[in-house]
Structure 1
């Protein structure tokens, strides 16, 4: 069957079609935190290829996964035995309007390439931490990036998008065109169609002033407290993350890393804003300097061979003493999970929680926890590890950032969206994907199916 349908699809699209017995196949997919082998992988080259591939998957009743960067923690950017629609060849980065700073970016582009391309025009977009993260996945989940306090989420710069629906329609969505769908794709993930390109309004940004400060792990609570106090007083131009790292064997000792990104070229103002973060404890090293914004994006670090990353996250309404003490006591020490705390607020918080499907704007921080386990663990074992690692923060956190969720369950979805937001998303899902073709994600059931399944 695969050989027959392989030929059928290959003759209909401009892109590349790969199956396990084709010459192009070079073994199972090796993606961040996941290994697998789809029955068919389609590397589309155009929107028409996307239309054809969706139609093909539906015709042959093949489960459909959509992949932009392949960095998804939920392990759903592939599907063993199904069809993967891979967008990595749709990676154009165009300046549409220099005066208005409008840019068009293909969903398969990577944020490292985007940052470099926009720098040529003196522009930047708030994006992910690592160069290899795909534009599509990060944007659809919201986009908490290095300029979040200064310019908001990635979706707050989104002006329009091109999208292919489950029934093959090619649609342009914006505040004026299909506004309900435009609302949904700003935080609702890949539930509503395959987005092929995004139109953003970028921000002027030639360089930033930033880098990292590394503190001794023994001073975790003091450093956390000083960091939180400093970020409360910092201008919105300053963005920061603090990471509690337990060490890794004899290679990397336990440490606390404060990362800083000041969005502006005024070195005197940047120095004043950054100065309080340099005196929170015993400094092991620091590297604060003027640099291109693209330099803030790091190379991806995949889990070591044989290990799988198990993570969880949630939002902190306030970074109070109880939360900081809990983080210091339970994370970042040898044998404990990694914890990363990202400061929010600023421009992100000034957007109404109802304006987009990302609804967690009132929180001061988002916390991301990660621990390693053997790749062979079952999903039930992973769930137990995740629950135990997150338990100290469970009662003082709320919600979840869909891009930081590796668990695939109804709870992971309901944690990501308040009930009112989820209900609205489910209704929009029912309008554009009533058959739930796009189910290989943090899935929002179409409204009618949800009622039948959960009785509410």
Structure 2
């Protein structure tokens, strides 16, 4: 009996083969469309467990879809599409239980009437599961830390087909691994997060022209390194895209306080002659989240990311040179520190807690760029990355053992592999950044 036939029998109404709408939805991710043997759309953790057991019995790989961003197309095996596991329940103790198939916009909307939020990604429609398991550098990372820092427990279906709850008290090693180790340990079906106050926010954008990008970078650095936890910011420098996205630096900020306080903190930036537009004022946390761009971008991104322990003059000069390279280049500096830095480096698999910023630099090449063009562009962009440590998994589109070793320090990766051997010795679950059992 095929895996499709077996799951149609064991999970009627939940298993879907080629030609159905549910199959087409489940096989489609941001990076493209795959051809799995079957898509399962469960409504309970018990149904997820049944799908996992069937896949193991038929020696089929298991892939998990939670929103579709960050996942790769699947060409065989079983896709577990968590779209139906999307409930969001707010509790009296300030925690929130969230199905792994929910979207972060749903979480923000449910928590808004309580003045609460969970610092997550930048967009409304990214799935909860994938982002939370990879770290979660959100809008309020300096104020409230990473998404994984807010996790209090997780419900997960293991490779044994068992449903367990992992927390600091129950399965603590698994709890540690799941908060940054990705989907390598099973299918997480539910999270419980500690929500944080997000009322009283002010924020918005400051736009700059291209006349003195270096001055913007340095002023942002100076503001960032001396600011309190209440200031969260991302500096993005864009090449020409379209009239709606002009070239030059643009700063997005979120601050828990008053607009007058925010303007005082940002005074060195607001006084720069290259300021072209200022839009600051009270803002709801949910309004910080934007809709993700539709479809796969028509570019090939070449570059990388890394955690910068120091926003040195040398790093900024390297960023300036990268922006002046031979191909259109985009640069992002995301302020870290604050609450992010007060978590011990071995408390979660996200170990580079000394970072002052996350740096992302990408050259934009045509989709059909040659290997030689890619290699030459990468050489130009490697210089600023030399001032960083490690990589952030959720922003890393390269794969392989060498990439994995750059995401996790040796001791962290060794521990992740030992825990993998304990909970998934047969290596059933292979996330995009695949951690093999020890």
Give the direction of change, closer, same or farther, for the CA distance of 1:443–1:349 in structure 2 (3 Å limit).
same
State which of 299, 313, 320 in structure 2 corresponds to 1:321. 313
CA RMSD between the two structures: 2.4
Structure 1 residues 35, 217: closer, same or farther in 2, change over 3 A? farther
2:74 aligned residue: 79
Moved more, 120-129 or 39-48: 39-48
Alignment of 1:108-127 (within 5 A): 108-127=101-120
Partner in structure 2 of residue 56 of structure 1: 54
Task: Report the counterpart of residue 274 of structure 2 in structure 1.
Answer: 282
3-state SS in 2 of match to 1:184: helix
SS at match of 2:415: helix
Note if 1:272 corresponds to 2:267. Answer: no
How many residues align structurally?
438
Structure 2: which 5+ runs fail to align?
none
Q: 2:237 aligns with which of 236, 241, 244?
A: 244
Pick from 352, 356, 361 the counterpart of residue 364 of structure 1: 356
C-alpha distance after superposition, 1:87-120 (max 9, x if no partner)? 1221111012x2x311111111111111111102
Greater alpha carbon shift after TM alignment, 244-253 vs 163-172 = 244-253
Give the TM-score of the pair, scaled to structure 1.
0.89
CA distance in 1, matches of 2:218, 2:284: 30
Displacement of 1:70: 1.1
1:432 and 1:330, CA in 2 relative to 1: closer, same or farther beyond 3 A?
same
Are positions 1:34 and 2:32 aligned together? Answer: yes
CA contact (8 A) 2:327 2:364 kept: no
The equivalent residue for 2:198 is 205
| Residue of 283, 293, 315 corresponding to 2:285 | 293
Deviation sequence 1:245-277 (CA, Å, 0-9, x none): 01126664312111100024x444334334333
Shift of 1:12: 2.2
How big is the shift at 1:280? Answer: 3.4
Match of 2:249 in 1: 256
Superposed CA deviations along residues 98-154 of structure 1, whole A, max 9, x for unmatched, are 2x3111111111111111111021111111011111111111111111111111111
Q: Does 2:129 align with 1:136?
A: yes
SS in 2 for 1:347: helix
Mapped contact 2:142–2:338 kept (Cα < 8 A) = yes
Hey, which bits of structure 1, 4+ residues long, moved more than 6 A? 380-383
CA drift at 1:159: 0.9
Q: Which deviations, in whole Å up to 9, do the C-alpha atoms of 1:191-232 show, x marking residues without a partner?
A: 111111111110122241001111112311110000000111
CA contact (8 A) 2:185 2:420 kept: yes
Query: Among 151, 158, 172, which residue is 1:165 paired with?
Result: 158
Residue among 392, 401, 412 paired with 2:383: 392
1:36 and 1:331, CA in 2 relative to 1: closer, same or farther beyond 3 A?
farther
Residues 1:214 and 1:355: Cα distance change in structure 2 (over 3 Å): same
Structure 2 partner of 1:13: 11
Q: Which moved more, 1:152-161 or 1:18-27?
A: 18-27
1:388-440 deviation per Cα after TM superposition (whole angstroms, max 9, x unaligned): 46312232222001111111111111101000101111100100011111113
Where 1:280 maps in the other structure, the secondary structure is coil
Contact 2:421 2:437 in 1 (8 A): yes
| Residues 64, 79 of structure 1: 8 Å contact kept | no
Residue 297 of structure 1, CA deviation: 0.7
Secondary structure, aligned partner of 1:120? helix
Partner of 2:395: 404
Distance in 2 (alpha carbons) for counterparts of 1:87 and 1:101: 25
TM-score (norm 2): 0.93
Q: Does 1:94 pair with 2:86?
A: no
User: Residue deviations 1:328-355, cap 9 Å, x none?
Assistant: 2213878322111101000111111011
Instruction: Tell me by how many angstroms 1:294 deviates.
Output: 0.5
Cα separation, 1, equivalents of 2:402 and 2:229: 33
Q: Corresponding residue for 1:450?
A: none
Distance 1:385-1:202 versus aligned 2 partners, 3 A rule:
farther
| Residue segments in structure 1 that go unaligned for 5+ positions in a row | 448-456
Structure 2 residue 184 is matched with structure 1 residue 191: yes
Please state how far the C-alpha of 1:243 moved relative to its aligned partner.
0.5
Paired with 1:28 and 1:167, the residues of 2 have a C-alpha distance of: 24
Secondary structure at the aligned position of 1:6 is classed as helix
Moved more, 243-252 or 191-200: 243-252
Aligned-partner SS, 2:47: helix
Cα 1:332–1:162 shift into 2, 3 Å = farther
Moved more, 386-395 or 192-201: 386-395
Q: Does structure 1 retain, via aligned residues, the 8 Å contact 2:173–2:419?
A: yes
User: Which secondary structure does the structure 1 equivalent of 2:419 belong to?
Assistant: helix
In structure 2, distance between residues paired with 1:342 and 1:15: 44
